[in-house]
Amino acid sequence: MSDPVKFLDLGKHHAPLRAAIDAAMREVIDTSAFILGKQVGEFEQAFAAYCGAKHCIGVASGTDALHLILRGLGIGPGDEVILPANTFIATALAVEFAGATVRLVDVEEETYNINPAKIEAAITSKTKAILPVHLCGRMANMRTITAIAKAHGLHLIEDACQAHGAKQGDTRAGSFGVAAAFSFYPGKNIGAFGDGGAITTNDEVLAEKIRKLRNYGQKIKHRHEFVGFNSRLDTLQAAVLKIKLLHLDAANALRAQHAERYRKLLAGTSVRVPTAASPGEHVYHLFMIRHPQRDMLATFLKERGIETAVHYPFPIHLMPAFAHLGKERGSFPVAEQLCAEILSLPMYPELTNAEITRVASAIREFSTR
Ligand SMILES: *Cc1c(COP(=O)(O)O)cnc(C)c1O
């Protein structure tokens, strides 16, 4: 059998950047400024500018980014936060960490994102925030959701952990709501060499609060103003991310080209491909197709050396960790159906046309057998 088609090949992505990254890491090691060294501030500035936001605060992970935004806004016990039913578990975990209550809303068939038409029914007197997720790198319908948040006086928080660089109109993910959370988990569109995350915001007071929250509740050393956390972006990771950010747009453009190629080659097969979004509105963190016999298709591809993944096999309400929400199967039918049918195909900038053709041919074979 020929070489496997990998789901993701970080080695290929890092090879051309390696010399620059090695030098940047050596510089950090030479200065021993491992905690909040100058590269953290430099990356924060660059990433804020890239997202079109005034402030960026580097933190230890995307999960922490979400958690610290909620804390920074004073959202906690007795408050409700609205989020989609089919996101990565971390979106819901962050709400729990803050002591607030998760209110799930079903998603749209076409975009897999929170269905704006179903948000208002979930708003109660306890609702404090709407937390849409730009799943797979496709923007949630921010125009409509912004209007709903405004009309009800709610905070709008973006989970942009899969959407570095995505735009809606002229506005980038990370500058729509009061704040946005990004993850730099290695496999994300910009990944660190370990865990990392960031918050973007235009709100100076919130930015200042979160800077303290990530650093034991202090601005000045040993002046602890409130109970904070230890959640800082490592200087080493910031040094890596500074270099990777320079290549993000080019990498996202390649992802979009691969998506077009998949779309063309998969037309007329039995899989359902995601509909095209306007250029820039989707940065293809994942290319997620649908098929009623998803598990059979995944096995068929695996036997032909093609790696795939499922993001995510269970909606939030059907996982034991969230049994306390008391939502039975059938509560969020679209999310439940998606979880049974979705399959993420290999997607990363360095994927070759030959590999995409091989994946598409195998799917065509499955679909005509
Ligand atoms: C990756 C991810 C997170 C969490 O980020 P970590 O850095 O892994 O903590 C949160 N939400 C979504 C949608 C993600 O994809």
Per-residue model confidence as pLDDT tens digits over 103-144? 999 999 999 999 999 999 999 999 999 999 999 999 999 999
**Which of 88, 133, 231, 347 is the pocket-test mutation for ligand 1 (most atoms within 8 Å of CB)?**
88
Number of alpha carbons in the 13 Å side-chain half-sphere of residue 43? 30
- The dihedral built from the CA positions of residue 298, 327, 77 and 179, taken in this order, carries a sign that is positive
Low-confidence ranges of the chain (pLDDT < 50): none
How far CA 95 is from CA of 80, 92, 119, 164, in Å, comes to: 9, 5, 17, 22
Give the residue among 53, 77, 145, 78 at the shortest CA–CA distance from 108.
Answer: 145
The DSSP annotation for 192-245 comes to -SS--EEEEES-HHHHHHHHHHTBTTBSSTT-B-S---B---BHHHHHHHHHHH
Q: Residue 277, SS3?
A: coil
| DSSP H or E run through 156 | strand 155-159
**Burial (CB count within 10 angstroms: exposed 0-12, middle 13-18, buried 19+), residue 185:** buried
**pTM attached to this predicted model:** 0.97
Q: How far apart are CA 312 and CA 339, in angstroms?
A: 6
Measured CA to CA, the distance from residue 83 to residue 154 in angstroms comes to 13
Atom of ligand 1 nearest to the CA of 135: 13
Q: Which residue in this structure is represented by tokens 């972006």?
A: 233
Res 278: pLDDT: 85
Q: In the prediction, which pLDDT does 191 show?
A: 98
Q: What share of the chain is helix, strand, coil (3-state, %, to 5)?
A: 45, 15, 40
Among 63, 133, 184, 231, the mutation site with the greatest number of ligand 1 atoms within 8 A of its Cβ is 63
Of all protein residues, whose CA lies closest to atom 6 belonging to ligand 1?
A: 62
How many angstroms separate the alpha carbon of residue 361 from the centre of ligand 1?
32
**Separation CA 251–CA 257 (nearest Å):** 10
In whole angstroms, give the CA distance from residue 118 to residue 110.
Answer: 15
Using CA atoms, how far apart are residues 306 and 194, in angstroms rounded to an integer? 26
Q: At 6, list the tokens.
A: 């990998």
